[in-house]
Amino acid sequence: MELLHALGIDWKYLLGQVINFLIVLFVLKKYAFGPIVDTLAKRTAKLEQGLQDAAAAKSARTSGEQEKAAVLAAARAESGKLMQETRAQAEEMRAELLTKAKNDVEDVVQLGKERLAMEKEQMLASAKGELAELVVVAIHKISPRVFTEKDEAALFTEAAAVLQKKNHL
């Protein structure tokens, strides 16, 4: 104690200071440091939770982007497949229509040829008849002899036979 006195320290004041320090320490710990430490712990927990949530969101976003890319790739593949099928169907339809049009044209040409052949036959028959009549008239004018109907029919038949032979050559 003498040492304390030699240093100018009064033990009563020192004891009071220690008690005051302990009271202030207790009050600060209970009412200041405790709530501050609790608040800091809560904030730390919130920050850690926020970081975990951000990591989870980033992971979800990444997987969502991957899923989106996969869906887009599948959609592109499906649309490409549909386009190929559509093109193939269009090509088939075009080929069918082209074949049908060719067949229709061939039918029309064939029908035209048949009509032309029929008209030719009719014109030849008409021309043969007229020519035979002209032959008979010409023979009447050239020949002074009078022909009977029997002679005219024979002459007409003979002229028609000659004309028919020439047409077939």
Distance from the Cα of residue 107 to its chain's centroid: 36
- What number of CA atoms fall less than 13 Å from residue 162's CA on the CB side? 9
What confidence tier does 97 reach under pLDDT thresholds 50, 70, 90?
very high
What is the helix, strand, coil percentage profile of the chain, to 5?
Answer: 95, 0, 5
Query: Where in the chain are the domains?
Result: 2-168
Residue 10 has a pLDDT of: 79
Which residue shows structure tokens 């029997």? Answer: 150
How sure is the predictor about 118, in pLDDT bands with cuts at 50, 70 and 90?
A: very high
34-81 residue pLDDT tens: 888 889 999 999 999 999 999 999 999 999 999 999 999 999 999 999
Measure the CA dihedral 101/103/108/111, to 10°: -170
Q: What is the mean pLDDT of residues 24-31?
A: 89
pLDDT tens per residue across span 133-169 = 777 777 777 765 666 777 777 877 887 787 777 766 5
